[in-house]
Chain A
Amino acid sequence: MNKPKTKKLLFLFRHAPYGSALAKEGIDAVLAASAYDQDLSVLFMDDGVFQLLKHQKPDDIEEKNIINILSAFTLYDIQSLFVCQESLAERGLRNTDIAIGINIVAHNTVSQLLSQQDHILSF
């Protein structure tokens, strides 16, 4: 049986929400990719960790709340979510500041995660 091999795809978020369209476009890409039954992971690092903060209220800048959209990931069977511990620490953020269930991983795990992928899509 030659079943097409599933690919390991990592979506890497390195930018803050709202200041650019990158966060939203990346999330759209994750949701679209989830339809193809591949092995998806999502990693938030550098300013990307700001996407995970509780209490976001973008009504007055007329944007969609990133947290609401990220909360839908489990319905799309996107379970492998990671955030870089050092990036959180560098910004003075704690685990309790994060609004969604996510694996907090140290630097060496981040490197491993990056090296295991067939493709990395960076936003």
Chain B
Amino acid sequence: MSNILHTVNKSPFLNQTLKHCLGRIQSGDSVLLLEDGVYAALSSQPWAMLMNPSHQYYAIKADVEARGLGEDKLLSHITLIDYEQFVELSTEHSTVQSWY
């Protein structure tokens, strides 16, 4: 079984990429939020309920901190990682699909 690492780097409010991605993920896939994509990690964003906790969700910590998003504002099932861990994740998945 192949598993995919999906990356989303656009804000879900101005761009459909988060929705497009979430509509197509399969079990075993993971989602990584980076750059403006990290706004999707807000628990208050309207698509949060689409982010099924049975998948693994990650966000780049430096991008979260840059934008002033405190941990208290984030969905609880998001794991914050750095770029080295991003590389590791890429190797653990069979492919990487970038939604942009």
Interface segment among B10-18, B19-27, B51-59, B89-97: the answer is B10-18
Task: Kindly identify which residue among A14, A18, A20, A90 contacts B67, using a CB–CB cutoff of 8 Å.
Answer: A18
- B45 and A15 contact, CB distance less than 8 A: no
Q: Which of the residues A90, A92, A99 comes within 8 Å of B43, measured between beta carbons?
A: A92
Complex contact A57–B65 (CB within 8 A): yes
- Say whether B45 contacts A91, CB under 8 Å: yes
Q: Shortest Cβ distance from A123 into chain B, in angstroms?
A: 13
Chain B contact residue count (CB 8 A cutoff):
23
Give residues 41-67 of A contacting B (CB, 8 Å): 46-47, 50, 53-61, 63, 67
CB distance B67 to A63 under 8 Å?
A: no
**How does the 8 Å CB contact mask read for B42-66 relative to A, with 1 for contact and 0 for none?**
1111100000000000000111011
On whether A19 and B10 interact (CB within 8 A), knowing A50-B39, A92-B43, A93-B44, the answer reads yes
Q: Could you say which of B9, B61, B73 contacts A19, with CB atoms under 8 Å apart? A: B9
How many chain-A residues does the 8 Å CB contact rule pick out? 26
Contact at A61–B62, with CB atoms within 8 Å?
yes
CB pair A91–B66 under 8 Å, yes or no, is no
**Cβ distance B53 to chain A, nearest Cβ, rounded Å:** 19
A17 touches B44 (CB 8 A): no
Chain A proximity of B13: nearest CB distance (Å): 5
B69 in contact with A47 (CB, 8 Å) = no
Counting CB contacts under 8 A, is A40 at the interface? Answer: no
Which of A61, A63, A67, A91 has a CB less than 8 Å from the CB of B13? A91
Which residues of A pack against B, CB within 8 Å?
Answer: 14-20, 46-47, 50, 53-61, 63, 67, 90-93, 99
